[in-house]
Amino acid sequence: MMNGAYDGLLMLLGVMWVVPIGVFIGMTFGAVPGLNKSGMLAILLPVLLAMSPEMGLVFAMSLYAGGEVGNAFPAVVLNIPGDASAAVTALEGYQMTLRGDGAKALGMCVMGSTIGAVLGGLASLVAAPTLGAIALRFSYPEICIIVLFGLAAIAQVSSGGLAKGLMMGFAGMLLSTTGTDPMWGTFRGTFDLVYLFDGLPIIPCLIGLLGFSELLKMIEGGITVNRVSQAREVGLKGVLAGMRETFRYPFDLLRSSLTGIIIGIVPGAGGTVSTFLSYQQALSWASPEAKKQFGKGSPNGLIAGDTANNADVGGSIVPLITLGIPGSSAAAVLLVIMAYHGLEVGPRLLSTAEGASVAYAIIWSQFVSAGLLVVMGGLLATFAYRLAFLPVNTMVPVIMVAALIGSFSQNQYIFDMGVMVLFGIIGFFMKSYGYPPIALLLGIILGPMFEENLLRTLRLGGGTPELFFERPLTLFLWLLLFLTLGARPALQLLRNYRNRRIGDPVKAQQ
């Protein structure tokens, strides 16, 4: 592991020049309301795939980190979150702007994000080798259960509920069977189209579900941005004052970072869950006087949301490089890059020299990005918020053309552009009716891995599923899967039963 960490650091030094470019572009894209991190990465995916694997992954991580800070600019100044994870930032930061503290709020967002990124990077650096060593004990049946566990975890935390999340996850796995059978080489679900012989093209599906669907949502909303005339001019002096004030809340910084890291490790939870959970914890732990400020421009609430948001980045990398399961929709794009370049995605990534070097290059890049966040973020905060004033109706056509070109670039098929548009429409309706597109996408990405390992397990077991229930590790994973799916309904039943028992004496008295 130490050799891998050292080789990863040397690998990072060779491509470090892309980090500041990625942070800057990420901040710029993040400041555009409605264009989230996963959509940004999906649109830039052709560029990322054209690079070497280490350069593409480091560049993607820089974009990821920069986007987490950039979405705070429109949230604070215009009350328009860059994406859902910036909702808490808008709730508290905009109120600070209305009372004339917009510069201070931006400084607190930048410094809180930087501290969260550093602690998230430390967590991934420490936890990845441990989890990687455990992951090497995983064989074919364990990998099958891990895929199911990842889909269950995403379904558990999805806004549409457990049933919708599971439905979309398994629908994605069903769609992933399109193409050639991995065991016998027969064609399935291709409709005699040569374009589908190798399966569904992942990149057009990803751009459609995450990127093009966002554009359709923006068009549905009228592609306009409400301007806030009260927004004051942001000065560097105010930004620096906000950075200094952030250190007056060390407990909030540490607690929010731990929350973001833990939630990030859970596959599918993402930054939105971590920010709201961190905000809820900040409200619970706040003093009576501080609680009165929540919703009115509370520094505690602002720091809680932005710190957890960036700490989540480091946490989401851990399951990606150790288990091959992305911790967020943005991390799913990194998974596509790794699979495209033929890296050993999953538990065996850290067991190969190339895979370990690339994995540690990703981890080390978080610290470089964090250092640039505080410098570039502080400088850009003085004027980058003006990007939010750009008319969205001029940006949508440009981004739409970029999405079409990105879908065409890999295989150079017009058919792939149609697939992107189709999945964009599917993603649009899924978001409109509360179905999680990330669950469908993860099913499409991980479906081939599940099918391949399932068939190997059945062949080793002589056609029977006995191997799924013989090893202690598989039994432990089945227990985790059961708890993931059944813990919340069981607790709800217990709570209802207790409420009925408490309410019976009252009914009897009546």
Per-residue pLDDT of 197-206, as tens digits, reads 878 888 788 7
Tell me whether residue 53 is in a domain.
Answer: yes
Both tokens assigned to 355: 């895979």
What is the per-residue pLDDT for 319? 78
Q: What is the mean pLDDT of residues 127-147?
A: 69
- Residue 38 CA to residue 45 CA, distance in Å, equals 10
- The model's pTM is 0.65
Residue pair 253/113 in contact (Cβ under 8 Å)? The answer is no
For 81-119, give one letter per residue: b (16+ CB within 10 A) or e: bbbbbbbbbbbbbbbbbbeebbbbbbbbbbbbbbbbbbb
Tell me whether residue 263 is in a domain.
Answer: yes
What is the per-residue pLDDT for 422? 92
The percent of residues in the chain predicted with pLDDT above 90, rounded, is 2
Per-residue pLDDT of 22-32, as tens digits, reads 998 888 877 76
pLDDT at 509 over 50: no
What is the per-residue pLDDT for 146? 75
In sequence order, which residues have a C-beta less than 8 Å from that of residue 369 and are 6 or more positions away?
A: 19, 22, 23, 61, 62, 65, 66, 117
Q: What is the mean pLDDT of residues 441-453?
A: 81
Both tokens assigned to 394: 């001029």
Structural domains counted in the chain: 1
What is the per-residue pLDDT for 229? 42
Average pLDDT over all residues of the chain:
77
- Residue 420 CA to residue 176 CA, distance in Å, equals 15
Q: Which of 110-114, 158-162, 188-192 has the lowest mean pLDDT?
A: 158-162
Tell me whether residue 181 is in a domain.
Answer: yes
- Model confidence at 54, pLDDT cuts 50, 70, 90, reads confident
Tell me whether residue 109 is in a domain.
Answer: yes
pLDDT at 480 over 50: yes
For 472-495, give one letter per residue: b (16+ CB within 10 A) or e: eebeebbeebeebbeeeeeeeeee
pLDDT at 122 over 80: yes
**More confident call, 324 vs 35:** 324
Tell me whether residue 496 is in a domain.
Answer: no
- Residue 258 CA to residue 380 CA, distance in Å, equals 27
pLDDT at 158 over 70: no
pLDDT at 251 over 80: yes
**DSSP per residue over 323-349, as a string?**
HS--SSHHHHHHHHHHHHTT---STTG
What is the per-residue pLDDT for 236? 74
Domain of residue 187 covers: 2-470
Q: Which of 337-351, 409-423, 424-438 has the lowest mean pLDDT?
A: 337-351
pLDDT at 285 over 60: yes
Q: Which residues pair with 403 in a beta bridge?
A: none
Q: Which of 49-58, 228-237, 481-490 has the lowest mean pLDDT?
A: 228-237
Tell me whether residue 54 is in a domain.
Answer: yes
Q: What is the mean pLDDT of residues 250-258?
A: 88
**More confident call, 175 vs 126:** 175
What is the per-residue pLDDT for 503? 62
- Model confidence at 159, pLDDT cuts 50, 70, 90, reads low
What is the per-residue pLDDT for 204? 84
pLDDT at 110 over 70: yes
Tell me whether residue 328 is in a domain.
Answer: yes
Tell me whether residue 497 is in a domain.
Answer: no
pLDDT at 2 over 70: no
